[in-house]
Each structure stands twice: as structure tokens, then as C-alpha cells.
Structure 1
Amino acid sequence: MNCSAFKRLKGIQRHWYVFEESTLKLMAYRNEMDAAIPDKEPLKIINIHGAVFHIDPAEHNQFSIM
């Protein structure tokens, strides 16, 4: 399981994302503490199976999931 904080480009709200490798799902939480609570319901679950990632080297630490 991989965890990280991301900021959406269309807003100022930050979420904490957890990537679950076994299911290929990205789960969004309000913050790192919420993500650490067992059985805590995520705000959103994004299935990235078959998704395409676009990384622009000119944009530091940014990527798009399509």
C-alpha cells in the first residue's frame, strides 16, 4: 500500500490518497490521520485499473490520470 498527499488542480482542498496495489484502487481521505483509521470509509474510491498516467517533465511533481 502506498500513501501520499495530493492537491487537486481545480481547487485548494488537499486530500490524502492511499493506493491499494492488490485492487488497483486509489482511495481519498480528508487527511493522513483519517487514512490511518482501520475500516474508515474513504471520501472517494478511484479504480485505476487500465488507467493511463501522463507525466509532463516540465511540471514538477504533477501528473494526470486519464
Structure 2
Amino acid sequence: MLTINVAVLLAVIVVLRLRRRTEARSRRDEKLTVVIVLALGVLLAPTPVGQGILNILGEFVGGVAQASR
């Protein structure tokens, strides 16, 4: 039986949608992309990968904030 991780499937869809030219997108298409990305974020957030991304971004933001002082 083949199982597909929903987060991986959404990541592939996001990559395919973002590869399209900007001029070819309608407002509805852009809104759908935002909803898909938000759903991907909700699925990734509680996972170890999501926590790792959160930690990396937190360190990056902290470094930028210290550099700007």
C-alpha cells in the first residue's frame, strides 16, 4: 500500500504553484496558494522539522535584532 504524507504532498503543490509566472496568477489563485501554504505550516509546526525551522528562524531574527542595535 502506498501512503503519502499530506505535508509532503502540500509542499510539492506549493513548489509547483510558485514556479508559475506571477503575471499568470489571478487573485483567486494567489489566495488559494496562501491557504495551501498556511495548511502546510499548520501540519509542519508540531513536527520535529517544524520545531527545527522555528529554532533556526528564532536565532536568525535574534541575530538581526542584535546587529541592528
TM-score (normalised: structure 1): 0.21
Higher strand share: 1
Q: Say which structure, 1 or 2, has more relative contact order (CA 8 Å, 6+ apart).
A: 2
TM-score (normalised: structure 2): 0.21
